[in-house]
């Protein structure tokens, strides 16, 4: 009797598992068999250019177009937009592919994309402006500016938060903030149960990006500036730099591309689905902005040239943070630091690769070359970084 019961229980367990495995295998087979290439003929991808580039950049532009065509086709992306700045001047801005697949609307250079966590680079500079006025201090505890931030088992400073070494939990891009509306950055704290938990580690001992940490930085900026975060960003950064296309995400904003999401396995190769309505206002400086590559290039050139911040402040923000162990994080205060290959030379690259769920935006500054490149996609899990690096290489050749 005991042996019979064991056999019955094994069958009860095995049958559902077998059915589940069959379903998963069938789903994978269906998705792979029904995946449709969005750009089966790369040479026929629609392109829109803002203005014809100067003759001296014609060869580089042709190489850049080839890179965009290949990227669209190989990654099966709906659309891309790119801009390149050389020593203070935008020399190329172009859209490729589809802004709206259903309506067959081509991407133009003036269309706006969600830039995801590339917003952090903009927010870092806003903090830099207040650091220069001594209205913010990096080593102050965050509660100095944001009393809504709960006290933890260790002190958490503005530097920890901007350097992503605070250990603040992050519920990811599917957390509670997507369901809420915030008028000011500090409004988000009432929805963040994650802030009630303990820190993941002692601040300064590890690196871990946290969108919620940058919500706190945004709240500190609006407290120090005595005005809403978005107002400060518009008055102090976007208007002075003529970034007229950069604003908070809203479905009512004109000239926005349609946002997509991979329909299967977080991989654009299997095709896109339209993203439903999402609310980004509570994410503030960690991910609220939409923009164009041209605006981001203007921003990058202004930072590289010292137009907006003093050189010492730029260096402060773009210097790798050091952990308590002495290890470098490879990240500044809101900036990614990396090395890229140009020809046979290894050069420093500074910028940010933004994501909402997966990468969809890249900004790269090559300080030693005066080159700034931005590439935006309307679907996450696009390798915009690789495309931006290749385009920078194309223009470094002249």
**Domain ranges in the chain?**
1-34, 45-398
> From start to end of the chain, where are the E strands?
47-49, 79-86, 89-100, 105-106, 113-114, 247-248, 260-262, 272-274, 289-291, 336-342, 345-356, 358-366, 371-377
What are residue 375's phi and psi, to 5 degrees?
Answer: -130, 130
* Cβ contacts of 197 within 8 Å, gap of 6 or more: 169
Q: What is the pTM of this model?
A: 0.92
User: How confident is the prediction along the chain (398 residues), in pLDDT tens digits per residue?
Assistant: 465 666 566 555 656 665 555 544 444 444 555 568 999 998 899 999 988 899 999 999 999 999 999 999 999 999 999 999 999 999 999 999 999 999 999 999 999 999 999 999 999 999 999 999 999 999 999 999 999 998 999 999 999 999 999 999 886 656 788 889 999 999 998 888 655 578 999 999 999 999 999 999 999 999 999 999 999 999 999 999 999 999 999 988 999 999 999 999 889 999 999 998 889 999 999 999 999 999 999 999 999 999 999 999 999 999 999 999 999 999 999 999 999 998 888 999 999 999 886 679 999 999 989 999 999 999 999 999 999 999 999 999 87
Helix (H, G, I), strand (E, B) or coil at 240: coil
What are residue 250's phi and psi, to 5 degrees?
Answer: -160, 140
Instruction: Tell me which CATH code domain 45-398 carries.
Output: 3.40.710.10
Q: What is the pLDDT of residue 47?
A: 93
């Amino acid at each position: 009797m005991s042996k019979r019961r064991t056999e019955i229980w094994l069958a009860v367990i095995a049958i559902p598992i077998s059915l589940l495995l069959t379903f998963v295998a069938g789903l994978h087979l269906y998705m792979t068999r029904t995946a449709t290439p969005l750009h089966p003929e790369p040479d026929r991808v629609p392109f829109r250019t803002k203005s014809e580039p100067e003759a001296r950049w014609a060869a580089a532009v042709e190489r850049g177009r080839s890179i965009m065509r290949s990227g669209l086709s190989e990654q099966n992306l709906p659309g891309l937009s790119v801009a390149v700045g050389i020593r203070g001047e935008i020399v190329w801005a172009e859209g490729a592919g589809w802004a709206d697949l259903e309506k067959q609307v081509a991407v133009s250079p003036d269309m706006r994309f969600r830039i995801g966590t590339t917003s952090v680079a903009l927010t870092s500079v806003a903090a830099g402006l207040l650091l220069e006025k001594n209205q913010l201090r990096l080593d102050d505890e965050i509660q100095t500016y944001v009393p809504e931030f709960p006290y933890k088992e260790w002190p958490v400073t503005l530097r920890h938060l901007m350097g992503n070494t605070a250990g603040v939990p992050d519920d990811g891009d599917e957390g509670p903030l997507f369901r809420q509306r915030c008028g000011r950055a500090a409004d988000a704290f009432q929805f963040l149960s994650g802030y009630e938990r303990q820190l993941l580690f002692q601040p300064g001992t590890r690196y871990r990006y946290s969108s919620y940490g940058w919500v706190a930085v945004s709240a500190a900026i609006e407290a120090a500036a005595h005005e809403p975060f978005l107002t400060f960003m518009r008055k102090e950064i976007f208007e002075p730099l003529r970034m007229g296309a950069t604003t908070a995400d809203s479905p009512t904003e004109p000239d926005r591309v349609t946002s997509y999401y991979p329909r299967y396995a977080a991989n654009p190769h299997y095709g896109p689905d339209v993203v439903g309505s999402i609310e980004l206002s509570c994410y503030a400086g960690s991910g609220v902005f939409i923009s164009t590559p041209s605006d981001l290039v203007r921003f990058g050139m202004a930072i590289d040239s010292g137009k907006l911040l003093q050189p010492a402040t730029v260096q402060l923000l773009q210097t790798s943070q050091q952990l308590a162990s002495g290890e470098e994080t490879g990240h500044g205060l809101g900036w990614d630091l990396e090395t890229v290959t140009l020809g046979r030379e290894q050069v420093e690259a500074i910028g940010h690769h933004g994501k909402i769920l997966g990468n969809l935006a890249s900004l790269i500054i090559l300080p030693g070359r005066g080159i700034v490149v931005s590439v935006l996609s309307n679907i996450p899990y696009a390798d915009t970084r690789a495309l931006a690096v290749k385009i920078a290489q194309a223009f470094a050749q002249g």
